[in-house]
Amino acid sequence: MANAVILPTLSMIDQLPLLTIAVPLIAGPLCVIFGNRHIAWGLAFLSSLLAFLFSGHMLLQVIDGDVLSYHLGGWAPPLGIEYRVDAANAFVLFLISGISTVVLPYARQSVAHEIKKVSHTLFYCCYLLCFTGLLGVVVTGDAFNVFVFLEISSLSTYVLIAMGAERDRRALTAAYDYLILGTIGATFFVIGIGFLYIATGTLNMADLAVRLADMGDNRTVQAGFAFIVVGMGLKAAIYPLHLWLPGAYTYAPSVVTVFLAATATKAAIYVLLRFMFSVFQPDFVFELHTLTWIIMPLAILAMFAASLIAAFQTDLKRLLAYSSVAQVGYMILGIGLATKTSLSATIIHLFNHGITKAVLFMVVGAFVMRVGSSFTKNLNGLGKQMPWTCTAFVIGGLSLIGVPGTAGFISKWLLIDASLKADLWWLAMLIVMSSLLAVVYVWKAVEVLYMQQPDEGSSAKEVPMSMLLPMWIMAIACVYFGLNTDLTLTSASVAANSLLGGGVQ
Amino acid sequence: MRHHLLLRVITKLLVGPILLFALYVQFHGDYSPGGGFQAGVIFAVAFILFGIVFGLAKVKQVFPPWLVHKLAALGVLIYAGTGVYSLMLGSTYLNYSAFTPAHPEHGQHWGILVVELGVGVTVAAVMVAIYYAFAARPPVIHDEEW
Amino acid sequence: MEFILGHLNYWLFIVLMMIGFYIVVARGNYIKKIVGLNVFQASVFMFYISIGKVDGGTAPIFPTDMNIDPNVVYSNPLPHVLILTAIVVGIATTSLGLALIVRIREEFGTIEEDEILEIESKLQAEENSAEGPAMGGRA
């Protein structure tokens, strides 16, 4: 190394990509050091709020197409690890940290109710590590670093899910199943990265994109692509690879379900997007075949099969979990169409579905707290006893269906628009038809809540304000982003542009 | 293992050298093979060996579980804190050269030493914590089931 | 023959990977599944380490006086570093999986997948007794 290294002095603003990760990462062990559950909650909330502010600021910086690049340890890419923030990841970071900031006030009462007191500190520590991992997956520009952060978030997720064992012992087997499948997925991803490294000799995503541009016929690269898609597909719960999801979401503590449903699969979808459209170019013939003949049919299958299964569930949590699988189908469909509009639709749906599912799972968490169960047979007539909670559920449900005026409508409308532009009118029909299936399962819950008489002797009452408020913030966000689409539409189209590198229209 | 005199004597003799060797591996990690991961595991081995021979209760007196948990967290904080320090000096995260701007190499030495120390503390604590977690469970498998 | 011997590390990687994968899928015992997962991961570690080898390369350590001989070929250390991280992740996964198995054994009294499935389907039948057997189940 040269003797006189001139060190540039960086301001706090330049450090933002790192600080977003570092703040929750440091807050996690601090929780354990202090060992007090109130301090732990405070630290979790504070660091999540800071991460939210940081990512909001970054989103404003990159919304006009700029790219922030941060060199970890002063090692310049492609050798060093680079944190690279453009509109696509800034938007996903904004979603993840925003959801976490709203979920944590809700978590306080819900966690106190569902998890025994000694475990609270460790719960918040694991939560923060999971949060760090998800943010890290999104922010990093280094392919292997994605794996490391992915495993940080996954390992803490397994622990968080297993904490549901106090309510139902099946949480343990659900966590175990997820551990096996999640590890297989992550290992597949590493194999894929290894193949790309053999072929190109680099791990930096931007550098990979340049070197892969004229290697479309290379078998190693094709195998690497397949491994990455399957590995990340497992994490994102693409339809036939979704088997871990319903159990994990059903038996995890309510807060964990809210957080995971709104963020974890979204981070995996983002990685898929990044690899499919930034690292590999869409004109890579092998990829186009994959998109048309594998990804699209699976997406359509997910939309119908998972919605149909959801309609037959008796447990509201499991019902919503299957609905999540179906909604992932819409996002994958946007990827499969591979046009700029469809990518915007995917990114918007990522965001809108995140807030929608957050409302719905928060409501179910409130039911678990007051009724002690999320089975429809125990929820009779709660509409009268918990009016605010149930209204939030209706708003969330409408957004899930995609009724005009809610966030869900915007993303589905964009998706239909994209399929019409691609001259696939039958696809647009299928999207509308699968939305009708969503009506079936949402109505099933609404009917129980409003049309049935309350059970005799039921004394359920409204949940405390600290849980109602986050629920309603999300519900209002569902309506707000359905009426005012400035933020989401602009971010999504800039994000789609930066993913595609401005190449394909 | 109360009646295994040989094992008990040898363990008593071995624990010290093992700890010393762990420290050797730890602090020579930047010149020769070694470093925090290996040293941490070797360090934990001393406690695990002691626990196996003298019983869980004894080793928990020496190294109580609450301390194990705090140390595991402390190691991460040492690592992350090194990065924060370089950050406060106006450089990028974990850029050790910032510690001694006149002599970047010295900074690199200091940085890797402190970071490896953090790694070592965490790995040792986590290994012992894993041992405690499994050893502290009441045996549910009866002899005839083996 | 050249095709087989020249790619020996890839063949071993594939065989080991398939053995591990098969154990994970086909065995019903939870501990055996974890063992399979470890074999599966180990195959990937070996794959990475083997691609770091450069023909005729030596250990990538520069002499202390920094007099680098341009004719010396060094092996690629990067895959080793990556795998060091992956090994640590593997250990964490294994210990977490085993810890879960201990808890499962305490709660269910067995670690055989088919017996646990039976217990779970009974639980599910009780939950749904009011509405008849439901679709889905443990999926």
Chain B closest CA to C102's CA: distance in Å?
A: 8
Chain A closest CA to C86's CA: distance in Å?
A: 8
Across B102-107, average pLDDT: 84
Partner-chain contact C99 B140, CB within 8 Å: no
Chain B closest CA to A170's CA: distance in Å?
A: 20
> Which residue in B has a C-alpha nearest to residue C108's C-alpha?
B140
Across B125-135, average pLDDT: 93
Domains defined for chain C, CATH in brackets? 2-62+69-108 (1.10.287)
B5 touches chain C (CB under 8 A): no
Nearest to A165 among C89, C96, C103 (CB): C103
Q: Which two tokens stand for residue A197?
A: 């490294």
**Do residues B97 and A74 lie in contact, with contact meaning Cβ atoms separated by under 8 Å?**
yes
C137, pLDDT greater than 50: no
Per-residue pLDDT at C131: 58
Of A251-260, B117-126, C54-63, give the lowest mean pLDDT range. Answer: C54-63
Chain C closest CA to B114's CA: distance in Å?
A: 19
Distance (Å, whole) CA A503 – CA A490: 18
- Chain C residues with CB-CB distance to A200 below 8 A: none
C2, pLDDT greater than 80: no
Partner-chain contact C44 A198, CB within 8 Å: no
Per-residue pLDDT at A304: 93
Give chain B's mean pLDDT: 87
Per-residue pLDDT at A166: 87
Per-residue pLDDT at B145: 54
Partner-chain contact B140 C95, CB within 8 Å: no
Partner-chain contact A26 B80, CB within 8 Å: yes
Question: 């909001």: which residue's tokens?
Answer: A56
C36 touches chain A (CB under 8 A): no
The backbone torsions φ and ψ at residue A69, rounded to the nearest 5 degrees and listed phi first, read: -125, 130
Distance (Å, whole) CA A123 – CA A126: 5
Residue A444: which residues within 8 A CB-CB, separation 6 or more?
A: A311, A319, A376
Q: Return the residue in C31, C91, C93 with the most chain B beta carbons within 10 A, the one to mutate for interface testing.
A: C91
Per-residue pLDDT at B144: 58
Per-residue pLDDT at C136: 41
- Chain C residues with CB-CB distance to A243 below 8 A: 139
Nearest to C106 among B37, B130, B140 (CB): B140
Which residue in A471, A453, A456 sits closest to A396, CA to CA? A471
Max distance between CA atoms of chain C, in angstroms, equals 81
Nearest to C99 among B37, B133, B140 (CB): B133
A26 touches chain B (CB under 8 A): yes
Partner-chain contact A170 C120, CB within 8 Å: yes
Nearest to A191 among C44, C82, C108 (CB): C44
Partner-chain contact B134 C98, CB within 8 Å: yes
Distance (Å, whole) CA B71 – CA A55: 31
Partner-chain contact B130 C95, CB within 8 Å: yes
B13, pLDDT greater than 90: yes
What are the b/e assignments for A68-79, b being 16+ CB within 10 Å? bebbbbbeebbe
Question: 């804190």: which residue's tokens?
Answer: B81
Give chain C's mean pLDDT: 85
Q: Is A78 helix (H, G, I), strand (E, B) or coil?
A: coil
Partner-chain contact A15 B72, CB within 8 Å: no
Chain B closest CA to A168's CA: distance in Å?
A: 21
**Do residues A245 and A324 lie in contact, with contact meaning Cβ atoms separated by under 8 Å?**
yes
Per-residue pLDDT at A6: 52
Partner-chain contact C44 A194, CB within 8 Å: yes
Distance (Å, whole) CA A276 – CA A335: 8
Partner-chain contact B93 A25, CB within 8 Å: no
Give chain A's contact residues with C (Cβ, < 8 Å).
144, 147-148, 151, 155, 158-159, 162, 165, 169-170, 172-173, 175-176, 179-180, 183-184, 186-187, 190-191, 194, 197-198, 243, 246-247, 309, 312-315, 318, 322, 375, 377
Number of helices followed by number of strands (H, E) in chain B: 5, 0
B105 touches chain A (CB under 8 A): yes
pLDDT digits (tens, 9 = 90+) for B36-94: 889 999 999 999 999 989 888 899 999 999 999 999 999 999 999 999 998 888 888 88
Question: 């990340």: which residue's tokens?
Answer: A232
Chains that touch A (3 or more CB pairs under 8 A): B, C
Partner-chain contact B134 C99, CB within 8 Å: yes
C51 touches chain A (CB under 8 A): yes
Q: CA angle A293-A294-A299, nearest 5°?
A: 110
Amino acid sitting at position A56? G
A72 touches chain B (CB under 8 A): yes
Per-residue pLDDT at A3: 44
Q: Which two tokens stand for residue C8?
A: 């020996």
**Do residues A181 and A234 lie in contact, with contact meaning Cβ atoms separated by under 8 Å?**
yes
As averages over each run of 10 residues, the pLDDT of chain A (505 residues) reads 53 86 94 92 95 93 87 84 90 94 94 90 95 95 94 95 90 94 95 92 89 82 91 92 92 94 93 89 73 88 92 91 94 89 92 94 93 86 88 94 92 92 90 91 90 79 90 94 88 87 47
Per-residue pLDDT at A472: 94
Partner-chain contact A1 B105, CB within 8 Å: yes
Q: What is the dihedral of CA B32, B35, B38, B41, to 10 degrees?
A: 140
A70 touches chain B (CB under 8 A): yes
Alpha helices in A140-169 (DSSP H): 143-162
Q: Return the residue in A1, A6, A7 with the most chain B beta carbons within 10 A, the one to mutate for interface testing.
A: A7
Q: Which two tokens stand for residue A14?
A: 């330049």
Question: 């443990």: which residue's tokens?
Answer: C138
> Which residue in A has a C-alpha nearest to residue C10's C-alpha?
A195
* CA A487 remoteness from chain centre: 19
Nearest to B101 among A7, A30, A31 (CB): A7
Predicted TM-score (pTM) above 0.90 = yes
Q: What DSSP designation does A6 have?
A: P
Number of A–C residue contacts, CB under 8 Å = 95
CA distances to A237, A349, A491, C1 from A332, rounded to whole Å, are: 10, 10, 19, 43
Distance (Å, whole) CA A14 – CA A74: 13
Partner-chain contact A313 C136, CB within 8 Å: yes
- Chain B residues with CB-CB distance to A7 below 8 A: 90-91, 95, 97-98, 101
Distance (Å, whole) CA A261 – CA A411: 18
Distance (Å, whole) CA A430 – CA C108: 44
**Do residues C93 and A155 lie in contact, with contact meaning Cβ atoms separated by under 8 Å?**
yes
State the ipTM, two decimals: 0.91
Distance (Å, whole) CA B72 – CA A29: 8
The backbone torsions φ and ψ at residue C29, rounded to the nearest 5 degrees and listed phi first, read: -80, 130
CA distances to A64, A65, A298, A423, C50 from A282, rounded to whole Å, are: 23, 20, 19, 19, 31
B64 touches chain A (CB under 8 A): no
Per-residue pLDDT at A324: 94
Which residue in A423, A142, A455, A152 sits closest to A271, CA to CA? A142
Which residue in C132, C89, C85 sits closest to A158, CA to CA? C89
Question: 């990114």: which residue's tokens?
Answer: A347
pLDDT digits (tens, 9 = 90+) for C113-125: 999 999 999 988 8
